[in-house]
Structure 1
């Protein structure tokens, strides 16, 4: 083959490779368009439709849903409370899960496999069942309150309030946080910790200056995952909140099923998607800073 022929065939090869790539990507692109993009666009369109009495959806487009949402003190408090509760749950889940994930990362052999199975096993049980288990534990007649009373400790109310929701969701989200942390602990090399200790660093200094920076990607991933799950969680806040804890997910349910105000429910759903997008942007920037650092 001459040099001129090779030069002539090169664009054809590139076109053939491009066609194959398009053919391979087309099915998943169609699935995403039908199963993800189209429903989101439909939801966004529904959020600017007028709500008719009795649960009807009007034909006219209006910005009243958005203006009413952003101008109503109840919904502003609802958004702020949802963000605060979700961030609190994320932080508590991280604090409880980090030592477990770190221990699992350092474990070896059959012991590590056994502990990993224990961590994953709660995911095999429905969140509804686990929530009812927490209701039985934290109720006024449950073992937790009885034990505190027997010890002479004033027992606070642990059910049908934000405290119960935070406790329940923290435990429910722990497996997700632990698995995400372990997935991000790949850069943590025990030899680096040993080198820092050999150079005279105390255990806390080793953790602060070696372990924590190397495990930061796992922390960021786990926090993103748990925050998104906490914001969108419905079952646990509905059951353990007893209708007294108002969050975005529970309000969407009430507007769609109880009040039958579908446009407002769609508006709140789009707002949740915006929050998810903002969380992804923050996660991307955090990962970029970690890679640069």
Structure 2
């Protein structure tokens, strides 16, 4: 019902002062899609999602692989430690990153104290800071999804490949990576969707200088009281979600058919 209400609101006409005229018009869609500002917001949203997803997967994959393969009696504790950040609110963690990345934060103070730089490096109030903070915030989600998706990873296959003369790089490339790729794709889907719809971190770390769809929707609905435009932007965000699902589904099918083969074994 909320989605139906949003869809209906998108066809209304905004009036000055926050008033809304109940009608059925495509004028608001034309205004939004014809405005270069909103296209820049859409592009920056996708750019943020791609960057956060790539860095999150790169940092999470080794940790998830280690946790999935370890036979240590501390495995349960290690997994719990990996997901412990989820017990802390993302708002609190974002404020923590503001203190770390600020001009007077830990990073800049350390770099200046060891003589790397004389002036603070701009790590906050820009896209760089948002990517750094978002990557850390979404890493526990990626690690959990990857661990659960690494069920096909059988150590016996690795030992068999090694016995046939494959070195560690070849085993990683020909055995480990194909078997873990479905879990990586699922983790990438989750992180990308979360980063597309993220509001708190872009708002706080971005300092009002990083415009994404979530912050733009909030500003249009709450600050400008332009609910039809906010509804149109919400539909655009839903369309992006749909495109991501389509791409993910095709990639998953490609992995199953071409890389893993019909029976789920490396081809």
**TM, length-normalised to structure 1:** 0.85
User: What are the residue-to-residue correspondences of 1:247-258 with 2, within 5 Å?
Assistant: 247-258=212-223
| Partner SS, residue 60 of structure 1 | coil
**1:243 equivalent among 186, 191, 208:** 208
Distance 1:158 1:69 in 2: 31
Partner of 2:57: 94
Aligned length: 256
Distance 1:99 1:272 in 2: 31
- Higher helix fraction (1 or 2): 1
Q: Give the drift of 1:150.
A: 1.6
Distance 1:246 1:100 in 2: 32
After superposition, give the CA deviation of every residue in 1:172-219 in whole Å (9 maximum; x if it has no partner): 000000011111101010111111111111111111111111001001
| Partner SS, residue 246 of structure 1 | coil
Distance 1:136 1:83 in 2: 26
Partner of 1:124: 87
Partner of 1:144: 107
Partner of 2:185: 220
| Partner SS, residue 141 of structure 1 | coil
Distance 1:50 1:108 in 2: 62
Query: 1:161 aligned to 2:98?
Result: no
User: After the TM superposition, which of the residue ranges 233-242 and 283-292 deviates more from structure 2?
Assistant: 283-292
Q: Give the drift of 1:111.
A: 1.3
User: What are the residue-to-residue correspondences of 1:10-29 with 2, within 5 Å?
Assistant: none
Q: Give the drift of 1:109.
A: 4.4
Partner of 2:17: 54
Query: 1:262 aligned to 2:227?
Result: yes
Partner of 1:45: 8
| Partner SS, residue 132 of structure 1 | helix
Distance 1:71 1:209 in 2: 47
Gaps of 5+ in 1: 1-37
Partner of 2:70: 107
Partner of 1:67: 30
**TM, length-normalised to structure 2:** 0.93
**2:135 equivalent among 158, 163, 170:** 170
Query: 1:191 aligned to 2:161?
Result: no
Distance 1:89 1:165 in 2: 9
- Give 1 or 2 for the bigger CA radius of gyration: 1
| Partner SS, residue 243 of structure 1 | coil
